[in-house]
């Protein structure tokens, strides 16, 4: 069974926590150390960002991390090599999050083949058109048993959400707002109403809520309304400040208690 499916199947009574970081930031060779630190600290799933020069969905924190990573020399090929080195040491699901351009440049089938070889269980491609997913990407991903995770936002129609739910597997990435990534202090009534609406749809796939989670209030709101939460910008900030994944994780856990 794919590790993503196994994670949700085996943890139906527990709220999950997934973290994002950008490969190659703050250091080129630190990818494996960050991942292993996350597993030691009990993180359930990891999104590894592929840096890109034009990340449309990302806020300033993750954009800056991508810029640093590219300057450090991170590439898709380099990332796969790093992940392959630690494949036998890591048990939790790894999800690559990156834009379509670098993936197409690498080669779509080569990309999914490398995912298998390096222990990756899924991908998130924010700018992948759904029609292209259905016709081109999904058949290749299925061949290699890799999950392609789709995002929904408060602006996604109910018809499209149900279509995504029917034609994807693993989980649905439920973006808390239609804006770019970035930490927020709280979720307002409109976002909570959105969460409640999606809960009422009784979707087949589990959902993870991301964008804006940085403290106890936002974490609790996300975990109360989905299978778990995804944190990106807050952890990336702490990792850049400390340069040490263990210290960054300890700092994050402190923030999530406030």
Q: pLDDT-derived band of residue 138, with 50, 70 and 90 as boundaries? A: very high
Q: What is the mean pLDDT of residues 22-31?
A: 97
Query: Is the pLDDT assigned to residue 246 strictly greater than 50?
Result: yes
Per the domain annotation, does 163 fall within a domain? yes
* Cα 49 from Cα 120, distance rounded (Å): 12
Q: What is the per-residue pLDDT for 183?
A: 45
Q: What is the mean pLDDT of residues 144-170?
A: 96
pLDDT tens, position by position, 177-228: 654 444 445 577 888 889 999 999 999 999 999 988 989 999 999 999 999 9
Q: What is the per-residue pLDDT for 169?
A: 95
Query: Is the pLDDT assigned to residue 160 strictly greater than 50?
Result: yes
Helix (H, G, I), strand (E, B) or coil at 126: coil
Per the domain annotation, does 181 fall within a domain? yes
* Cα 42 from Cα 83, distance rounded (Å): 19
Q: Is 47 a catalytic residue?
A: yes
Q: Mean pLDDT lowest for which of 58-62, 70-74, 92-96, 192-196?
A: 58-62
Token pair recorded at residue 79: 């990332």
Q: What is the per-residue pLDDT for 57?
A: 65
Q: Is 244 a catalytic residue?
A: no
Q: What is the per-residue pLDDT for 201?
A: 96
Return the higher-pLDDT residue of 28 and 191: 28
Report how many domains make up the chain.
1
Q: What is the per-residue pLDDT for 156?
A: 93
Catalytic residue among 13, 58, 159, 244: 58
Q: What is the per-residue pLDDT for 191?
A: 85
Q: Say if residue 247 is preceded by a cis peptide, omega within 30 of 0.
A: no
Q: What is the per-residue pLDDT for 176?
A: 84
Among 58, 49, 48, 46, which residue's Cα sits nearest to residue 18?
46
Q: What is the per-residue pLDDT for 182?
A: 43
Per the domain annotation, does 152 fall within a domain? yes
Per the domain annotation, does 26 fall within a domain? yes
Per the domain annotation, does 256 fall within a domain? no
Per the domain annotation, does 9 fall within a domain? no
The helix or strand, by DSSP H or E, that contains position 146, with its residue range, turns out to be: none
Per the domain annotation, does 4 fall within a domain? no
> What is the chain's mean pLDDT, rounded?
93
Per the domain annotation, does 35 fall within a domain? yes
pLDDT tens, position by position, 90-118: 999 999 999 999 999 999 999 999 999 99
Alpha carbon distances (Å) from 126 to 100, 180, 213: 8, 11, 19
Which CATH number do you get for residue 51?
3.20.20.70
Q: Quote the domain boundaries for residue 27.
A: 15-250
Catalytic residue among 47, 85, 169, 241: 47
Helix (H, G, I), strand (E, B) or coil at 97: strand
Q: How many helices (H) and strands (E) does the chain have?
A: 13, 9
């Amino acid at each position: 069974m794919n590790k993503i499916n196994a994670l949700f199947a085996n943890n139906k009574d527990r709220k999950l926590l997934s973290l994002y970081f950008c490969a190659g930031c703050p250091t080129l060779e630190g990818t494996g150390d960050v991942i292993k630190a996350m597993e030691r600290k009990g993180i359930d799933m990891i999104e590894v960002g592929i840096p890109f020069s034009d990340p449309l969905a990302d806020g300033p924190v993750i954009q800056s991390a991508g810029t640093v990573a590219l300057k450090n020399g991170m590439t898709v090929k380099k990332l796969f090599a790093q992940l392959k080195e630690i494949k036998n040491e890591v048990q939790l699901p790894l999800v690559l999050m990156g834009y379509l351009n670098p993936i197409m440049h690498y080669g779509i089938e080569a990309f999914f083949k490398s995912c298998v070889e390096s222990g990756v269980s899924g991908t998130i491609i924010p700018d992948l058109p759904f029609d292209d997913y259905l016709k081109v990407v999904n058949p290749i991903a299925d061949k290699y048993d890799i999950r392609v995770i789709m995002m929904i936002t408060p602006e996604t129609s109910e018809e499209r959400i149900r279509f995504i739910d029917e034609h994807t597997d693993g989980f649905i990435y439920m973006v808390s707002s239609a804006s770019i990534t970035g930490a927020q202090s709280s979720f307002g009534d409109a976002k909570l109403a959105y969460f409640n609406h999606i809960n009422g749809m009784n979707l087949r796939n589990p959902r993870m809520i991301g964008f804006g989670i940085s403290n106890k209030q936002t974490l609790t709101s996300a975990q109360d309304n989905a299978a778990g939460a995804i944190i990106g910008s807050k952890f990336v900030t702490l990792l850049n400040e400390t340069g040490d994944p263990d210290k960054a994780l300890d700092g994050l856990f402190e923030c999530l208690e406030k």
